[in-house]
Chain A
Amino acid sequence: MAREAWKSRLGLILAMAGNAVGLGNFLRFPVQATQNGGGAFMIPYAIAFLLLGIPLMWAEWAMGRMGGTRGHGTTPFMFHMMWKGAPSKYLGVLGVMLPLGITVYYVCIESWTLAFAWFSGIQRYFGIADAEQMSEFLHGFQGVEATAHFDGISTAYVFFLVTMAINAYIVTRGIAAGIEMLAKVAMPTLFVFAVVIAVRVATLGLTEVPPPYPVQGGFAFIWNPDFGQLGNSKIWLAAAGQIFFTLSIACGAIQTYASYLGKRDDVVVTGLTTSVTNELTEVILGGSIAIPVAFAFFGAAATREIAQGGAFNLGFAAMPLVFQKIPMGAFFGTLWFGLLFFAGITSSVALMQPAIAFLQDELGFSRKKAATIVVLFVFVAAHMFIFGLGHGTLDEMDFWCGTFGLAVFALFESVMFFWVFGMNRAWAEMHQGAQRKLPRPYYWIMLLVTPLYCFTLLAAWGVQQGFDVLIMKDVAPGDRPWIWATRALFLGMIAAFALLVRHASKKWDEVKP
């Protein structure tokens, strides 16, 4: 069966950028930067981008293209191509499981953005005066607590169903007619929305902003370097985690998209384009919206407090308050949540693709059948995060799939590609069809710095937090059954994909003479 292919290079880059540009750029980045000291966070962030983000992006593009030319769109059999030893394909299981694990809670957050775009348009939250009440509105909508604003979780569930239906429609249409078409519409729209909002923030006048808190205070908080915090390993971990998450690297999704390339299509310039487009969206656009606005309207201390309150508070609680205070607030609110939805959906379809490609390439399923199975799984599994949100299920899954799992997989893939496959072969593979040569220092960065960086991150996490996390030190007793259930889902997904890999291996062995 012939594999699908990208229709145009611009479509591919927009789809790859859509994969990378997601909720992490506009929701997670401002919160991470605020929680970790602003200027203190940006130095490790820039270093992680250069030493982890860019090298792994090139490696994943090259790995993906190499696998795709031999009919493998996912990491289990890409790893097996590089190392014929039996465990290699099982190490690659994470490259299918992690993106699917992220998708099951990601679609829930995505549905909230769609709902809030609607609420902004109809001014549903207008009249709510402070951050505490806005959080109450959000929690009422999510069904976490009973409030006067919503009658249970039914509204949120309707938006979840709509979001799932849109995702299902796109992934069943395939690479060119579904994902690429979506990227060509959603990415330019997202950029226009983000630029309009960023310009509006930068031009907020004294009449709109109370005098003690100018917009520039937010920029100063992010960009004034704080060298005194560089010894704090927690900030380095947070910065590296943000780079993994925002670039969508170390989860297998990039390899799958790259597997639809031709064997001599460039990966050097195209991979770098994806990385810098994501950073443009995150640092220049994302960094110019939520933090400066929050600083302008609430001040430094209150902004930190809002950010500490949760990953969604700046986006879902602080921003709606701001939209009520500026002219045409309903319009700008719709733009803000609309851009979040576009950012979310271009990522969620990308995160589902590795599992779909695995079923197609390794088990011979049709596109429609594979997409239907994956969408149904996501739909069912997401209920754990819809109904268990108040018990910490979403944060737990995000930690294992969206933070810890990414660091583990980054270590696996960097060792596999740069050491087991061999640095000289990896270097030659990346240069196949390249329009520009890679800078020579990256040979040594990929060989030494990137794997060591990943290993150090994991070791530091293990020493500082590992045991406490495993024993659920900070988890309330009433929430522990939910956390155990989330961990069971995480481990169950790994086990299920390992069994499928074993099954697929037997099939491949039968095909061979």
Chain B
Amino acid sequence: MMTAAGWIFMALFWGFILIVTVWCFWIVLFEKQGFGDANPQDGHKEGTKMPPPGRDPGPSTGLPVPPTP
């Protein structure tokens, strides 16, 4: 039969894995900026805002970028 130590060990291990899994998937699914941004030269990916035609994506300073000639 499961001892008290067994229940605690199982709860800790399962709890750790479940909590971290939910936390990770929450970030992965709802915070898009970690994937595909800042490198539009790699092609369009999920979470990427493609630059408007004729404009360079520019550095990640937030400043407006002049149109390319």
Contacts and interface: CB of A to CB of B under 8 A. Distances in A.
Contact of A216 (B2, B28, B38): B2
A272 B19 CA distance: 12
Contact-residue size bin, chain A (C-beta under 8 Å from the other chain): 35 or more
Given A7-B46, A220-B1, A273-B25, A265 B39 contact: yes
Interface residues of B, number: 33
A262 B28 contact: no
A202 interface: no
Contact of B28 (A5, A223, A273): A273
Interface string A432-472: 01111000000000000000000000000000000000000
Interface stretch (B10-18, B51-59, B61-69): B10-18
A279 interface: yes
Contact of A224 (B6, B28, B45): B6
Contact of A435 (B5, B34, B38, B43): B34
A419 interface: no
A270 B35 contact: yes
Contacts of A220: 1-3, 6
Interface in A232-246: none
Contacts of A272: 20, 24
B39 to A, nearest CB: 4
A266 interface: yes
A296 to B, nearest CB: 14
A161 interface: no
Nearest to B10: A223
B28 A9 contact: yes
B28 A13 contact: yes
Contacts of A219: 2, 6, 10
A42 interface: yes
Contact of B13 (A5, A13, A46): A46
A269 B47 contact: no
B46 to A, nearest CB: 4
A222 B13 CA distance: 12
A263 interface: yes
A9 B47 contact: yes
B34 A269 contact: yes
Contacts of B37: 264
A276 interface: yes
Nearest to A46: B13
B46 A269 contact: no
A277 B1 CA distance: 28
Nearest to A222: B10
A8 B46 contact: yes
Interface string A255-279: 0000000111110011011001101
Interface in A251-310: 262-266, 269-270, 272-273, 276-277, 279-280, 283-284
A225 B38 contact: no
Contacts of B38: 262-264, 433
Contacts of A10: 28-29, 46
A39 interface: yes
B50 to A, nearest CB: 14
Given A266-B35, A283-B14, A223 B7 contact: yes
Given A9-B47, A10-B46, A262-B45, A269 B5 contact: no
Interface string A207-238: 00000000011011011110000000000000
B44 to A, nearest CB: 9
A269 B47 CA distance: 16
B3 A7 contact: no
A220 B33 CA distance: 43
A145 B53 CA distance: 68
Given A8-B45, A219-B10, A220-B6, A262 B36 contact: yes
A284 B17 contact: yes
Contact of B35 (A9, A284, A436): A9
A262 B37 CA distance: 8
Given A46-B13, A219-B2, A435-B34, A284 B18 contact: yes
Interface centre among A10, A262, A434 (most CB of B within 10 A): A262
A224 B47 contact: no
B9 A280 contact: no
Contact of A223 (B2, B20, B31, B42): B2
Contact of B21 (A42, A222, A276): A276
Interface centre among B2, B34, B35 (most CB of A within 10 A): B35
22 contacts: A9-B46, A9-B47, A10-B29, A39-B6, A42-B13, A46-B13, A220-B1, A220-B2, A220-B6, A223-B2, A224-B3, A262-B39, A269-B24, A269-B27, A269-B28, A269-B34, A270-B28, A276-B17, A277-B21, A277-B24, A280-B21, A435-B27
Given A224-B5, A265-B35, 13 more contacts: A5-B42, A9-B46, A13-B28, A46-B13, A219-B2, A223-B9, A223-B10, A262-B39, A263-B39, A263-B42, A269-B34, A270-B35, A277-B21
Q: 9 closest Cβ contacts across the A-B interface? A: A266-B34, A262-B39, A224-B6, A273-B24, A435-B34, A9-B35, A8-B46, A223-B10, A264-B38
